[in-house]
A and B are shown apart, each in its own frame.
Chain A
């Protein structure tokens, strides 16, 4: 209890400090900003929680050109102190350790090994305060996007001081978007006004905003207090608010459909990527390759290895991993085909068992080389986070890229099969092996190349998977059933079928998931496929013509 009251006191004190800060900027200029900055940072980095929070408030007052930089470094976990002399530094990681910059002066201190510096730890309480402090400082930033983010950050936590500050800034603000965000904050504030007319105008202003906070505040207007009285006393305002709310809800509905669609497509993209290699080896060649999942796993591990080799270029390493994974998985695929599968053509059961053995072998090999623990593949900056369209719809970048990537791989594969000599030979052998041989096509070589192509694509899929799931020896097992499901559902031997099947299964899964839960949704999809296959044994797009009869 004692600690709690102390905390409360500190909070009051903090607010008082803030008021005082905005009231009298002049005072802080009288003190030596450098000394204050250093002093408050030193208090911030250790000691009891209340003391650290107080130090944070003090930091806000300091009128030092590097305050914002230091605070941002602190929030992003880049602020360290040198173990030997407790000097505060901003560190950037590189291959040799850390590149250090003096936090206060900005002086370059060169490279230091990792063990020489200790990170300044943060807790959520401090992080929340820090974010607010940075937000307030950023309101004055030169960059309009930074200002916009800062204003948006203040929506939930507006007090009289920030409002006053915003009103003051509004007069000088030029940027449309920032002004609009400010208008929304003012309108939200006006909803609490005594004057009915002001409340009604505020509602009109809020009509067009796609913002969760607006929805929440409008919902509050509809609520009743414990005595059964509406919180909003005026019936006109309630009516208006209800109207606007239903308008916004319709938009939310629309965006949530879009979101489900995107989720479905992105899950579908993963399925298609996993299955498309199989569509070649199983679909075109008719080989049941149980080691297909492990070929994906090899691709994922290739990504990991390449990332280890070039830790300074995360983004580039992912791009580099694509051809590398294609090569490695492709070569392993060719080796499997030449070493085992070619002796077993026409004996599907034995192929199944043999490739299952290969899959166990590959898993164990990876376990021996990389340990059974999952490896972590770091996601590059441009693939993390999301594309925020509005408060109700945001698309995560990694899924977005995978969707695009999947389509690219599909188109490329289709072109290879349609336009290249290899493609022509592959199709010829698939349609009629004997006739192709008679025509002088080296069927053995084509078999190996086809299998290599399918395996290589599996490796490429592994690169994509490394970005969304754990890279471990069991990665492949999680996808092998799904891959077969997609290929069989789409129609064996049909790339378009695989694409359509993957996307429709993904979307079906995501539509079902909110109602049925993740486990049941998967089961339902599986049951659906079983029933579907009963009705149409050769899938969505069955192969037609002589090729079928020949098999």
Chain B
């Protein structure tokens, strides 16, 4: 009995010590600024999103080495929404209410962003979204550092039309919101450019589609009608590999029918057999192969941080790099991490991107970026064959869709609206 007695007392003592320790811990924690990282670390999207989590940790680490922010250290809070869209909303709520993070960097697919939107708006948080997307959105609380359609899809089509003289178009995509909206915009754009209805072929396939025989045969037939044909691919994920393989097997080379992809980057190409892809195109705002001192330093930093000289960098990583640094500058400018103040301060902030330009946060919460088109090389890198001579401003609402043509987003006074109709002069609020 006595033994138990002693141990009970010890336990109580220990409890007190622990309480003191955690109390002290809490006191220390108050000195830091918390940054939420909301990327899937498991499930289907883990392949792409884990890299972005590591990128964020690297950027935060580097900022801390520079002395932190506003005299405080930055503290990353990493959560795993597990490629589960509703879980994204839950985890975002947890980050904002429980961890009280100053900003969230996260999401990949459009559906995960749409799921987080109501939460982040309700709790007035700040989200930096680093992936190219379909546009038609501008939230007060979200900063879109990836490409809007006019920063990726439209220039790519222009390149195919003007430089490769494409006259017939295949719009092939995976069956979900991003490809469908993008193709709607592209179809309207092509028609505006005088392309005939019968010269456009649109095709959707499920996620992970692997039997491409008939679709590729259709593309081949469509492309053999004597006019130069190009494929604009919004095919997402690993369905790309059997698609390109089938193209190669059916004897369609990049010279005959070039495929320009919007979702195939260095990360997706690393470690796969690139032979059937060589010569096909991709449009991004950044390529690892871009030869600037800033980029070289970034790549080196990444390889050192991840301790693997074979790892590659890609476009969404650059988007996080720009977004994070813009946020840092905005916080410094505002002198606080208060979301309201940061949202005001960040508009107009400029930060050099890795391809040698100066990106700027625009009033519509998108940023200005260069557009690059590259040909896939056998080593999984891109050779830039075309690029815009100046930065392109991201346009939230496409000018090529009749319903979104009169709509603009401008989060500065007097408009202060993400969905403002210039004809009726009305703000329709949000539309998630």
Q: Which of B206, B226, B251, B254 contacts A394 (CB 8 A)?
A: B251
Task: Using CB atoms, name the residue of chain B closest to A127.
Answer: B255
Q: Which of B164, B246, B379 contacts A396 (CB 8 A)?
A: B246
- Give A116-136 as 1s and 0s: 1 = Cβ < 8 Å from B's Cβ atoms: 000101111001100100000
Decide if A71 is an interface residue (CB 8 Å cutoff): no
Question: Which segment of A172-180, A185-193, A449-457, A517-525 sits at the interface?
Answer: A517-525
Q: Is the CB of A519 within 8 A of B44?
A: no
Q: Which of B204, B249, B250 contacts A519 (CB 8 A)?
A: B204
- Give A367-386 as 1s and 0s: 1 = Cβ < 8 Å from B's Cβ atoms: 00000111111110000111
Set of chain B residues within 8 Å of A123, measured between Cβ atoms: 279, 375, 383, 385
* Complex: A372 Cα to B206 Cα, angstroms: 21
Decide if B214 is an interface residue (CB 8 Å cutoff): yes
Decide if A232 is an interface residue (CB 8 Å cutoff): no
Q: Which of A219, A384, A388, A513 contacts B214 (CB 8 A)?
A: A513
Question: Which segment of A26-34, A282-290, A464-472 sits at the interface?
Answer: A464-472
Q: Is the CB of B250 within 8 A of A386?
A: yes
B171: shortest Cβ distance to chain A, in Å? 13
* Complex: A522 Cα to B214 Cα, angstroms: 14
Q: Is the CB of B47 within 8 A of A267?
A: no
Set of chain A residues within 8 Å of B215, measured between Cβ atoms: 513, 518
Set of chain A residues within 8 Å of B271, measured between Cβ atoms: 373-376
* Complex: A183 Cα to B34 Cα, angstroms: 76
Decide if B431 is an interface residue (CB 8 Å cutoff): no
A-B contact pairs, 12 of them (CB 8 A): A123-B279, A128-B255, A216-B225, A219-B226, A260-B214, A374-B241, A379-B273, A396-B246, A470-B238, A478-B208, A514-B214, A519-B204
* Complex: A379 Cα to B244 Cα, angstroms: 13
Decide if B272 is an interface residue (CB 8 Å cutoff): yes
Q: Which of A376, A385, A472 contacts B249 (CB 8 A)?
A: A385
Set of chain B residues within 8 Å of A121, measured between Cβ atoms: 377, 383
- List B residues 256-290 near A (Cβ within 8 Å): 258, 271-273, 278-279
Decide if A77 is an interface residue (CB 8 Å cutoff): yes
Decide if B79 is an interface residue (CB 8 Å cutoff): no
Decide if B248 is an interface residue (CB 8 Å cutoff): yes
Task: Using CB atoms, name the residue of chain B closest to A518.
Answer: B205
* Complex: A470 Cα to B271 Cα, angstroms: 12
Binding site for A on B (CB under 8 A): 44, 46-47, 164, 175, 203-206, 208-211, 213-215, 217-218, 224-226, 238, 241-242, 245-246, 248-251, 253-255, 258, 271-273, 278-279, 375, 377-379, 383, 385
Set of chain A residues within 8 Å of B375, measured between Cβ atoms: 123-124
A534: shortest Cβ distance to chain B, in Å? 26
> In the complex where A376-B272, A478-B210 touch, is A263 in contact with B249 (Cβ < 8 A)?
no
Set of chain B residues within 8 Å of A472, measured between Cβ atoms: 238
A389: shortest Cβ distance to chain B, in Å? 12
Q: Is the CB of B206 within 8 A of A519?
A: yes
Decide if A58 is an interface residue (CB 8 Å cutoff): no
Task: Using CB atoms, name the residue of chain A closest to B276.
Answer: A384
Task: Using CB atoms, name the residue of chain B closest to A129.
Answer: B255
Set of chain B residues within 8 Å of A77, measured between Cβ atoms: 278, 378
The 10 closest A-B pairs by CB, nearest first: A216-B226, A469-B210, A396-B249, A376-B272, A212-B224, A376-B273, A263-B213, A470-B238, A518-B205, A128-B255
Set of chain B residues within 8 Å of A128, measured between Cβ atoms: 255
Q: Is the CB of A474 within 8 A of B226?
A: no
A217-B226, A259-B217, A374-B271 given; name 12 further pairs at CB < 8 Å. A122-B279, A127-B253, A266-B213, A379-B245, A396-B250, A398-B249, A468-B211, A469-B210, A510-B214, A514-B214, A514-B218, A518-B206
- Give A135-154 as 1s and 0s: 1 = Cβ < 8 Å from B's Cβ atoms: 00000000000000000000
Set of chain A residues within 8 Å of B208, measured between Cβ atoms: 474, 478
A113: shortest Cβ distance to chain B, in Å? 15
Set of chain A residues within 8 Å of B210, measured between Cβ atoms: 468-470, 478
Q: Is the CB of B251 within 8 A of A385?
A: yes
* Complex: A478 Cα to B209 Cα, angstroms: 9
Q: Size band of the A side of the interface? A: 35 or more
B141: shortest Cβ distance to chain A, in Å? 31
Q: Is the CB of A386 within 8 A of B238?
A: no
* Complex: A398 Cα to B276 Cα, angstroms: 14
B297: shortest Cβ distance to chain A, in Å? 21
Set of chain B residues within 8 Å of A405, measured between Cβ atoms: none
Q: Is the CB of A388 within 8 A of B255?
A: no
> In the complex where A514-B218, A518-B204 touch, is A216 in contact with B224 (Cβ < 8 A)?
yes
Q: Is the CB of A372 within 8 A of B213?
A: no
- List A residues 476-527 near B (Cβ within 8 Å): 478, 510, 513-514, 517-519, 522
Set of chain B residues within 8 Å of A124, measured between Cβ atoms: 164, 254-255, 258, 279, 375, 385
- List A residues 338-385 near B (Cβ within 8 Å): 372-379, 384-385
> In the complex where A127-B279, A518-B206, A518-B209 touch, is A263 in contact with B214 (Cβ < 8 A)?
yes
A57: shortest Cβ distance to chain B, in Å? 18
Q: Which of A122, A270, A397 contacts B211 (CB 8 A)?
A: A270
Task: Using CB atoms, name the residue of chain B closest to A510.
Answer: B214
Set of chain B residues within 8 Å of A122, measured between Cβ atoms: 279
Set of chain A residues within 8 Å of B205, measured between Cβ atoms: 518-519
Set of chain A residues within 8 Å of B44, measured between Cβ atoms: 474
Q: Is the CB of B379 within 8 A of A119?
A: yes
Set of chain B residues within 8 Å of A379, measured between Cβ atoms: 245, 273
Q: Is the CB of A469 within 8 A of B213?
A: no
Q: Which of B46, B213, B242 contacts A267 (CB 8 A)?
A: B213
> In the complex where A77-B378, A123-B375, A127-B255 touch, is A384 in contact with B383 (Cβ < 8 A)?
no
B25: shortest Cβ distance to chain A, in Å? 33
Q: Which of B204, B248, B255, B377 contacts A517 (CB 8 A)?
A: B204
B386: shortest Cβ distance to chain A, in Å? 10
Decide if A399 is an interface residue (CB 8 Å cutoff): yes
Decide if A164 is an interface residue (CB 8 Å cutoff): no
Set of chain B residues within 8 Å of A259, measured between Cβ atoms: 217
Q: Which of A398, A470, A510 contacts B241 (CB 8 A)?
A: A470
Identify the interface centre among A378, A397, A468: most chain B CB within 10 Å of its CB.
A468
Q: Is the CB of B204 within 8 A of A374?
A: no
Set of chain A residues within 8 Å of B272, measured between Cβ atoms: 374, 376
Decide if A220 is an interface residue (CB 8 Å cutoff): yes
Task: Using CB atoms, name the residue of chain B closest to A49.
Answer: B385
Set of chain A residues within 8 Å of B209, measured between Cβ atoms: 518
Q: Is the CB of A470 within 8 A of B242?
A: yes
Set of chain A residues within 8 Å of B258, measured between Cβ atoms: 124
> In the complex where A386-B249, A388-B251 touch, is A519 in contact with B238 (Cβ < 8 A)?
no
Q: Which of B211, B225, B249 contacts A384 (CB 8 A)?
A: B249
* Complex: A219 Cα to B224 Cα, angstroms: 12
* Complex: A366 Cα to B255 Cα, angstroms: 38
A306: shortest Cβ distance to chain B, in Å? 16
Task: Using CB atoms, name the residue of chain B closest to A383.
Answer: B249
A253: shortest Cβ distance to chain B, in Å? 12
Q: Is the CB of B211 within 8 A of A267?
A: yes
A424: shortest Cβ distance to chain B, in Å? 37
Identify the interface centre among B213, B217, B377, B383: most chain A CB within 10 Å of its CB.
B213
Identify the interface centre among A219, A372, A375, A469: most chain B CB within 10 Å of its CB.
A469
* Complex: A123 Cα to B164 Cα, angstroms: 12
A381: shortest Cβ distance to chain B, in Å? 11
B155: shortest Cβ distance to chain A, in Å? 17
Task: Using CB atoms, name the residue of chain A closest to B375.
Answer: A123
Identify the interface centre among A270, A377, A470, A522: most chain B CB within 10 Å of its CB.
A470
Set of chain B residues within 8 Å of A374, measured between Cβ atoms: 238, 241, 271-272
Task: Using CB atoms, name the residue of chain A closest to B289.
Answer: A121
* Complex: A538 Cα to B258 Cα, angstroms: 48
Task: Using CB atoms, name the residue of chain B closest to A121.
Answer: B383
Set of chain B residues within 8 Å of A373, measured between Cβ atoms: 47, 271
Q: Is the CB of B206 within 8 A of A396?
A: no
A156: shortest Cβ distance to chain B, in Å? 9
Q: Is the CB of B249 within 8 A of A378?
A: no
> In the complex where A266-B213, A470-B242, A519-B175 touch, is A386 in contact with B251 (Cβ < 8 A)?
yes
* Complex: A265 Cα to B225 Cα, angstroms: 27
